[in-house]
Amino acid sequence: MQRKTLAVLAAISAGTLLAGCGGGGPSGSSGSKLSDGKVVLGVLTDLSGVYSQIAGQKTVAAVQMAVDDYKKKYGSKAVAKDISVVSADHQDKPDVANSQARQMYERQNVDAIFDVPTSSAALAVANVAKSDKRMYFNIGAATTALTGKECNKYSYGWAYDTYMLANGTARTVTENGGKNWYLIYPDYAFGQDMQAKFTSAIQSSGGKVVANDPTPFPNDNFSTFMLKAPTLNPQPQVLGAMQAGGDLVNVAKQYQQFKLKDKGIKLAIGLMFDNDIKSIGVDTLAGTQFTTAWFWSLDARSKAWADEFKQRTGERPNFDQAANYSAATQYLEAIQRAGTDSSDSVVKQLDGMKFDDVFARNAKVRSQDHRVVHDAYLVEVKSKADQSEPEDFTKLVKDIPADQAFAPASSDCHLG
């Protein structure tokens, strides 16, 4: 504590910052103390852009719920008594995410960063976490590189990835007769990875990708691709949309506008959240199947937490918000067990841990690559007549067990 205080004062007087002066840095204590007497959780997310409805302020609220529940559970016995939550907007840009992550770790003494939708931004944050030796819990980004060649000791993949999405949706749609596909994907890390994983799953299930095209990101005009789809030879039976958030909403509306369904081309969606269904409309999406990491009406436990979330935010949670709550909860529990917020000590508590919480069922933190494996779900969008309430969008088609939902640990991952 004293050494850290002196170091910080020296850094301030010199006009510089020390990358390792917080909970995860070299000065983090291995005893039953917090590095600076408090724990700071940072939510680095999209607060204003294409993914702001998926994540945004409601994700910040989910992390705050985890803090409140931890305090309520442990009371005076809590190792972390002084906990705060800060947030920032990365604008879906890797350079902004990089600078925001550095500011969080080095100026705000953030011990762990959560969320970070947009894979290119998430990869940038993971690199900062590695260099600063601070914790990063990836929730919002789907690229498998984060638990593959870009993995590191201090970063964890908590909610989902492109393999999980393709393994559920692409295989099911192909095996049910959708053999020929036309894939359109946003032209950055997430979309590129989605295209690769969906192609692999389609081909291994006996299907064929007739064509694939990158699309600008973000984008509001997909007419070129809608016009192209019926002209391909052979004509695809499935338009595979790898977009997410506001881009997906635009794809779905333009798919409807260009009447591709009437031309024998079904819409398959790589990644969809309840917010997207609300924006697009159940009338348009009814019967559409997709793979998800969680949905609020899964069971009684999920419904109870979703009720609390709605009381706080006015809306039901999506899986990004539930997963952020889960990651923040398990992070605080790891601090409680370790008796310290030292990153190295917390990593020891997390690696190999099995758990079952509001979000993750039959979950395990793989020590080889820091991928959290858990049950996933193939679901279907309900018709309006089947909804029990306006935000009741999905019904379960089948469970995908944890050991089948995610790919085996990558040999490209070297945690170091």
56: CB partners within 8 A, 6+ apart = 45, 46, 47
Beta bridge partner(s), residue 183? 212, 240
The answer for 279, left when phi > 0, alpha when psi is -120 to 50, beta otherwise, is alpha
- How many Å apart are CA 323 and CA 308, to the nearest integer? 15
Cβ-count burial 327-352 (b if 16+ within 10 Å, e if not): bbbbbbbbbbebbbbbbebbbbbbbe
Nearest Cα residue to 198 out of 169, 236, 161: 169
pLDDT at 33: 82
Q: What is the pLDDT of residues 180-226, one digit of tens each?
A: 999 999 999 999 999 999 999 999 999 999 999 999 999 999 999 99
Side chain identity at 168, as an amino acid letter?
Answer: G
Nearest Cα residue to 163 out of 366, 408, 327, 396: 408
Residue 19 has pLDDT above 50, yes or no: no
Mean pLDDT of 381-399: 96
* DSSP state string for 28-45: --SSSS-SSSSEEEEEEE
Mean pLDDT of 249-265: 96
Inter-residue contact 185 to 177 (CB < 8 Å) = no
Confidence band for 269, pLDDT divided at 50, 70 and 90: very high
| Sheet bearing 354-355, strands edge to edge | 354-355, 363-365, 372-373
Inter-residue contact 135 to 167 (CB < 8 Å) = no
In the three-class reduction of DSSP (H, G, I as helix; E, B as strand; rest coil), residue 90 is classed as coil
Q: What is the pLDDT of residues 143-170, one digit of tens each?
A: 999 999 999 999 999 999 999 999 999 9
The predicted model scores a pTM of 0.90
CATH numbers and ranges of domains, the chain: 2-160+298-374 (3.40.50.2300), 163-292+378-405 (3.40.50.2300)
- Arithmetic mean of pLDDT over the chain: 92
- How many Å apart are CA 408 and CA 210, to the nearest integer? 28
Confidence band for 280, pLDDT divided at 50, 70 and 90: very high
Q: What is the pLDDT of residues 287-312, one digit of tens each?
A: 999 999 999 999 999 999 999 999 99
Residue 20 has pLDDT above 70, yes or no: no
* DSSP state string for 285-351: HTT-EEEES--TTSSHHHHHHHHHHHHHHSS---HHHHHHHHHHHHHHHHHHHHTS--HHHHHHHHT
Inter-residue contact 325 to 115 (CB < 8 Å) = no
Return the ∠ at Cα 100 (arms to 97 and 106), rounded to 5°: 135
pLDDT at 92: 95
